[in-house]
Amino acid sequence: MRSHDPEKMSVTPLESFPPIDQWDDWMEYDAGAWPKKVERRSMLVPTTCFNCEAACGLMAYVDRETLTVTRLEGNPHHPGSRGKNCAKGPATINQINDPQRILYPLKRVGPRGSGRFERTTWDEVLDVFATKIRQALNEGRKTEVMYHVGRPGEDGYMLRVLQSWGVDGHNSHTNVCSSAARLGYALWSGSDRPSPDHANAKFMLLLSSHLETGHYFIPHAQRIVEGKKKGAKLCVIDVRLSNTASRADYWLAPWPGTEALLLLAMARVILVEDLYDAAFLEQWVNWRQFLAAKCPDAEPTFDRFIVELKKHYAFATPEAAAKECGVEAETIVEIAREIGRAGSAFASHVWRNAAAGNLGGWQVARCLQFVAVLVGAVGVRGGTNLHSVNKFVPAPFSIPPPPEVWNDLLYPPEYPLAHHELSFLLPHFLEEGRGKIAAYFTRVYNPVWTNPDGMLWERVLKDEAKIELHAALTPVWSETAQYADYVLPMGNAAERHDLMSQETHAAKWISFRQPVLRVARQRLGHDVDLTYQANPGEVWEENEFWIELSWRIDPDGSLGVRAFYESPYRAGEKITIDEYYRWIFENSVPGLPEEAAQQGLSPLDYMRKYGAFLVEKEVYQGHLTPLGSEQMEKAETQADGTIVKGGQAIGVVAGCVPRVGFETPSRRLEIYSPTMADWGWPEHTLPGYIESHIHRKHLDRDRGEYVLIPTFRLPTLIHTRSANAKWLYELSNTNPIWVHPEDARRLGVETTDLVRITTRIGHFVNKVWVTEGMRPGVLACSHHLGRWRLFDDAGTERWASAKVSCDEIEPGVFRFRRVEGIKPFVSRDPDTRRIWWTDGGVHQNLIFPVQPDPVSGMHCWHQRVTIEPARPDDQYGDVQVDTTQSIEIYREWLDLTRPAPGPEGLRRPRWFDRVVRPVAEAYRMQRT
């Protein structure tokens, strides 16, 4: 029975949670033994969820007798999630006990893609990759080692590994996810993510569905509810009636791709009705640069700036927006006035949604931030902070130097302003002969399924001349892993170490992911040197894998790699994972050593016990941080208050104090972007509206053309990561096409009827769901479902995937057809015999051509499609794709780019960051 004594509660007042002093030996009665009273005793070990990016706290219950994890709940000590989780958090137990999971390292024994693997040893894996990488480094091929990550789930560890090898080899999934929104935010402030303070807001505007999904789902959802309880109003902009929209005070469903104009119309109302925060704008916006560029003859005063700004946005009337967006003009005005009344207590967010769907989607984020800047809601209580102010990444004991090379496969010259690597174009670049890869690691990354043009991924992954050696680091089978040379089982949330922080609210925190069975054994006094000794089978954790691999790449230290893996406590000896985190917790987390000491614990033991630490609360206004005397040494202050040192602005005087300002070249919020002008996009120097590739004028309604929104998340699944959780698939196992009743009538279809959806490169066949929760003329389909496998014993999990055949029916044209749906099967988990669902959904991404935005590099997900009732030969789940046509479309989009070099012969503006940032000289195209 649980304690309900409030005096013994944990620091977060959950209704009920075991008191801390019983975490090592917590007794409860076995529910399965009822009505007998059978005691079960557990240890409570905290860790961090790994099923989405929010990094919520989890608490594992480890049975003291069997040393198995019996369940996972929320960790009340976690500052972001405060003891709460979504369905995916507790479902981690399914992932631990998954009878289909890969428990040992596997080596391919047939041709790539044949599905034939055999068990191998970690020793062999490490030697094979160490030899290959050492050879590449010795031969100066430092762009041929690539680590391609889907969900990082950690901060900084892997960047350090790649830097220690001296390679420019970090690739990510960000350009199929968030790089458009990131660019929009970064152009304003240099910080690429919003950190809204929902709990203290008076008005919240979301282009997202944070009450059910999104960055950062559970931490945000609870604070949105908190804000609403305190009287804040919520507006949701989404073509789909999401759960979040259903709880909003205002739900706007504009025509997809017009969101930027809708936001500009709100901005215009705020300007015209003088609802803006003049003092904030005058101090912090680069209005002088705006005037100098746009009206060089104008008197350089703030009043004149406002006049000119009103003139510039005169086109964005509510009436014009109403016509373009399909939203009532009065509603736009009403919402703008609400925002004006909320003033700086205006919290807002866009991440994927419209930013990820449209050509020019980065302007959606930029226009949203424009509204926030106008009302002074930047970095203040109740407003929208910069992520860089709230996210806290502590430094490790040593940092390797930046790489000296530039990898054009990651940042090609056509996309100098791309916010992240052009990851989804990698196969196209390899096909064009732009390079090859000697050693390729995919990690929690499934591009064959997740990315557009998946058949091109399949082609290059099978080509041993283009990718010589490929290891899939994954806790679960995937459509991509089946093409790898080695499939390496890595731990899930309860089986590995990582350190994470997210900008979930106005605070800084860290969360420690840890292998709970290893920690439990150590609490009992067992010796465990490496995590795999406590994990199921031979499941490793990546932290230890990279240490071991790096050590073998450079066994004698001659390459300069090994030094970064030597213990900071035992000179010349290999670092242990305890030592890596011990050093960080002792030296890089302010307040942690003191807090730990108060409890008689070492900092590492504190983190092992509580799993998270609040570094700072009530974090606001990072831009007001004063510059220190050392920073001000040899600095000059210009007439406009800009503080310059060594030819670069380092801050701004505000309130007579020198302050750091924002992370832009001007140290101000840049409404006018000189960077856009300098890099060949003078028409986009200001927040503006770019007509999307799926704009109505591009649609032929007589041909039955519609827009397909293929991006929305379900609350219960996460991309291709959650196929190993049976509970989640029992909850969500189909992804029908959302169709408005008017469109359904026009098409002559009803719910469950089959339709054929056709893009420019292929078609799929899916069911419809007729719903009024959809804007007429627009279709939607969730992107999580539609997993497939070619084999029974390799490929995606059987409770999550249909078995399919894949045939080349014409040269370059492939057809996937279902061989069998999901059905019960025999395993050590009796539940697999009780599987009742058969569907699993339809894979849509295969028929999407690549559509890279020429500025941000973001894949523009929304599709122009035709929809028709299924044809006589069509079968549910059919997918057909023409790879010749997909390459044509790649070239069409490539033609939209305006390639580097930019000023000074650079590949990319120097102030634009990169995940692994090479030396400054590498930014230059023609190097001296």
Q: State which residue, 51 or 482, has the beta carbon closest to ligand SF4.
A: 51
Alpha-carbon span 205 to 371, nearest angstrom: 10
List, in sequence order, every residue forming a beta bridge with 812; answer none if it has no partner.
Answer: none
List, in sequence order, every residue forming a beta bridge with 864; answer none if it has no partner.
Answer: 707
Q: How far is the CB of 800 from ligand SF4 (least distance, A)?
A: 17
Count of beta carbons in the 10 Å neighbourhood of residue 151: 18
Q: How far is the CB of 42 from ligand SF4 (least distance, A)?
A: 20
**Residue whose token pair is 């998340």:** 713
Q: State which residue, 78 or 914, has the beta carbon closest to ligand SF4.
A: 78
SS3 699: coil
Residue 755 C-beta-side C-alpha neighbours within 13 Å: 26
Q: How far is the CB of 50 from ligand SF4 (least distance, A)?
A: 7
Q: State which residue, 40 or 721, has the beta carbon closest to ligand SF4.
A: 721
**Residue 668 gets which letter from DSSP?**
S
Q: Work out the end-to-end distance of the chain between its first and last CA atoms, rounded to an integer number of angstroms.
A: 73
Based on DSSP, count helices (H) and strands (E) in the chain, helices before strands. 28, 34
Q: State which residue, 48 or 685, has the beta carbon closest to ligand SF4.
A: 48
**Residue 572 gets which letter from DSSP?**
T
Alpha-carbon span 587 to 394, nearest angstrom: 9
Which two structure tokens, joined as six digits, stand for 456?
Answer: 């091109």
Instruction: Transcribe 432-496 into DSSP letters.
Output: TTS--EEEEEEES--HHHHSSSHHHHHHHHT-TTTEEEEEEEESS--TTGGG-SEEEEB--TTS-
SS3 881: strand
207 closest CA partner among 363, 342, 51, 420: 363
Q: State which residue, 220 or 667, has the beta carbon closest to ligand SF4.
A: 220
Q: How far is the CB of 119 from ligand SF4 (least distance, A)?
A: 31
Alpha-carbon span 754 to 542, nearest angstrom: 44
Run of H or E including 39: strand 39-48
Alpha-carbon span 345 to 198, nearest angstrom: 9
* Alpha-carbon torsion, ordered 124, 125, 129, 131, to 10 deg: -10
Which two structure tokens, joined as six digits, stand for 557?
Answer: 């230290």
Q: State which residue, 150 or 343, has the beta carbon closest to ligand SF4.
A: 150
731 closest CA partner among 239, 94, 210, 153: 94
Q: State which residue, 208 or 856, has the beta carbon closest to ligand SF4.
A: 208
List, in sequence order, every residue forming a beta bridge with 653; answer none if it has no partner.
Answer: 658
Residue 776 Cα to chain centre, angstroms: 30
List, in sequence order, every residue forming a beta bridge with 868; answer none if it has no partner.
Answer: 756
Count of beta carbons in the 10 Å neighbourhood of residue 406: 22
Q: How far is the CB of 719 from ligand SF4 (least distance, A)?
A: 11
Q: State which residue, 61 or 814, has the beta carbon closest to ligand SF4.
A: 61
Q: State which residue, 221 or 356, has the beta carbon closest to ligand SF4.
A: 221
Q: What are phi and psi of 28, to 5 degrees?
A: -145, 160
Q: How far is the CB of 493 from ligand SF4 (least distance, A)?
A: 8
Q: How far is the CB of 433 from ligand SF4 (least distance, A)?
A: 40
Which two structure tokens, joined as six digits, stand for 152?
Answer: 């990082």
Which residues have a Cβ under 8 Å from the Cβ of 268 and sit 6 or more positions away? 310, 313, 314, 316, 317, 318, 336
Which residues have a Cβ under 8 Å from the Cβ of 320 and sit 6 or more positions away? 261, 265
Question: Taking a C-beta distance cutoff of 8 angstroms, is the pair 542, 473 a contact?
Answer: yes
**Residue whose token pair is 């893609």:** 113
Count of beta carbons in the 10 Å neighbourhood of residue 32: 8
Q: State which residue, 91 or 377, has the beta carbon closest to ligand SF4.
A: 91
Q: State which residue, 85 or 384, has the beta carbon closest to ligand SF4.
A: 85
Q: How far is the CB of 535 from ligand SF4 (least distance, A)?
A: 20
Residue 911 Cα to chain centre, angstroms: 22
- Amino acid code (one letter) for 356: A
Q: State which residue, 161 or 218, has the beta carbon closest to ligand SF4.
A: 218
- Amino acid code (one letter) for 6: P
Q: How far is the CB of 717 from ligand SF4 (least distance, A)?
A: 10
Q: State which residue, 89 or 762, has the beta carbon closest to ligand SF4.
A: 89
Q: How far is the CB of 85 from ligand SF4 (least distance, A)?
A: 4
Residue 482 Cα to chain centre, angstroms: 24
Q: State which residue, 81 or 344, has the beta carbon closest to ligand SF4.
A: 81
714 closest CA partner among 267, 233, 86, 181: 86
Q: How far is the CB of 454 from ligand SF4 (least distance, A)?
A: 25
Run of H or E including 366: helix 362-374
Q: How far is the CB of 195 from ligand SF4 (least distance, A)?
A: 16
SS3 412: coil
Q: How far is the CB of 494 from ligand SF4 (least distance, A)?
A: 12
SS3 263: helix
Q: State which residue, 212 or 414, has the beta carbon closest to ligand SF4.
A: 212
Q: How far is the CB of 45 from ligand SF4 (least distance, A)?
A: 17
Q: State which residue, 217 or 585, has the beta carbon closest to ligand SF4.
A: 217
Q: State which residue, 85 or 501, has the beta carbon closest to ligand SF4.
A: 85
94 closest CA partner among 839, 732, 723, 788: 723
Q: How far is the CB of 223 from ligand SF4 (least distance, A)?
A: 13
Q: How far is the CB of 716 from ligand SF4 (least distance, A)?
A: 9
- Footprint of ligand SF4 (CB under 6 A): 49, 51-52, 54-56, 81, 85-86, 88-89, 217-218
Q: How far is the CB of 668 from ligand SF4 (least distance, A)?
A: 35
